Structure 1
Amino acid sequence: MRRSRLRTLALTGTAVAMAAALAACGGGSSDSESKGKGVTITVEGWRPGDQKATIDYAKKQAAAFHKLHPSITIVPKEWQWNAQTFSAQLAGGTLPISFRVPFTDTKGLVERHQVADVDAEVRKLSYFGQLNPNVLAAATGADGKVYGLPSDVYANALHYNRELFTQAGLDPDKPPTTWDELRADAKAITDKTGVAGYGEMTKSNTGGWILSTLTYAMGGRMESEDGKTATLDNPASEQALQLLHDMRWTDGSISSNNSYDWASVHQAFASGKIAMFVSGSDVYNAMVTTDKIDPKIYGLAGIPVSDSADAGALGGGSVNVVSAKASKAEAAAAVQWADFFRVAKYSDQDAAVADAKATADSDQPVGTPTFSIFDEASYTTYQGWIKDYVNVPLDQMKPYTDAMFAVKLIAEPPAQTQGVYGAMDSVVQKVLTDKNADIPALLQAANDKAQQLLDQG
Structure 2
Amino acid sequence: MRRRLLATTFALGALLLSSACSGSGDSTEEAATGPVTITVNGLPPDTDPVNRKNFEEDVTKFMDKYPDIKIEAKEGMMDPQTFSAKLAGGQLEDVFYVYFTDPQALIRKRQVSDISKYLGEFPNTKDLKPELLRIFSDESGHAYGLPSQNYSMGLVYNRELFKKAGLDPATPPRTWAEVREAAKKINALGGGVVGYGDYSKNNTGGWHFTAETYSLGGDVATQDGETWKAAFNTATGKQVLQQLKDMRWTDNSMGQKQLLEYSDLLQMMGSNKLGMYLGTGSDIVNIVNQYKGKFDTYGLGSIPDGKGTLGGGDGYMFKAGLSPAKIKAGLTWLSYKTVAPDRIAESLGRANKNKEPVGLPQPNIWVAGSPSDKTLVAERDKLKNVPVENFAPFAATETSIPLKLEPPLAQQVYAVLDVPMQKVLTDRNADIDKLLADAEAQVNGVLGAAK
Deviates more, 1:235-244 or 1:106-115: 106-115
SS in 1 for 2:221: coil
Query: What residue number does 2:416 align with?
Result: 423
TM-score (norm 2): 0.79
Query: What residue number does 2:389 align with?
Result: 395
Distance 2:277 2:72 in 1: 36
Q: Is 2:402 the partner of 1:409?
A: yes
Query: What residue number does 1:75 align with?
Result: 73
SS in 2 for 1:275: strand
Correspondences of 1:205-244 after superposition (within 5 Å)? 205-224=203-222, 226=224, 228-244=228-244
Query: What residue number does 1:200 align with?
Result: 198
Which of 58, 62, 75 is the matching residue for 2:59?
62
Gaps of 5+ in 2: 1-17
Offset at residue 395 of structure 1 (A)? 0.8
Distance 1:272 1:327 in 2: 55
Offset at residue 136 of structure 1 (A)? 1.1
Offset at residue 327 of structure 1 (A)? 8.3
Deviation track 1:89-139 (CA, whole Å, cap 9, x = no partner) reads 656899766554332232123335565554455554213334332221111
Query: Are 1:314 and 1:410, in contact at CA under 8 Å, matched by a contact in 2?
Result: yes
Offset at residue 403 of structure 1 (A)? 2.6
Distance 1:76 1:260 in 2: 32
Which of 306, 311, 314 is the matching residue for 2:310?
314
Query: What residue number does 1:384 align with?
Result: 378
Q: Is 2:322 the partner of 1:336?
A: no
Which of 355, 359, 362 is the matching residue for 1:367?
359
Offset at residue 417 of structure 1 (A)? 4.7
TM-score (norm 1): 0.78
Query: Which residue identity does 1:366 align to in structure 2?
Result: V
Q: Cα 1:269–1:66, aligned 2, differ >3 Å: closer, same or farther?
A: farther
Distance 2:312 2:202 in 1: 17
Query: What residue number does 2:278 align with?
Result: 278
Query: What residue number does 1:446 align with?
Result: 439
Query: What residue number does 1:24 align with?
Result: 26
**Aligned residue pair count:** 424
Offset at residue 416 of structure 1 (A)? 4.8
SS in 1 for 2:196: coil
Correspondences of 1:5-24 after superposition (within 5 Å)? 22-24=24-26
Q: Cα 1:129–1:229, aligned 2, differ >3 Å: closer, same or farther?
A: same
Query: What residue number does 1:6 align with?
Result: none
Q: Is 2:345 the partner of 1:356?
A: no
Query: What residue number does 2:302 align with?
Result: 302
Distance 2:268 2:332 in 1: 37
Query: Which residue identity does 2:429 align to in structure 1?
Result: N
Gaps of 5+ in 1: 1-14
Distance 1:435 1:85 in 2: 42
Distance 2:377 2:72 in 1: 28
Query: Are 2:27 and 2:121, in contact at CA under 8 Å, matched by a contact in 1?
Result: no
Q: Is 2:183 the partner of 1:186?
A: yes
Q: Cα 1:81–1:62, aligned 2, differ >3 Å: closer, same or farther?
A: same
Query: Are 1:247 and 1:254, in contact at CA under 8 Å, matched by a contact in 2?
Result: no
SS in 1 for 2:338: helix
Q: Cα 1:342–1:413, aligned 2, differ >3 Å: closer, same or farther?
A: same
SS in 2 for 1:184: helix
Q: Cα 1:128–1:431, aligned 2, differ >3 Å: closer, same or farther?
A: same
Query: Which residue identity does 1:398 align to in structure 2?
Result: A
Offset at residue 218 of structure 1 (A)? 1.9
Distance 1:325 1:359 in 2: 37
Distance 1:283 1:101 in 2: 21
How big is the alpha-carbon RMSD for the aligned residues of Structure 1 and Structure 2? 3.7
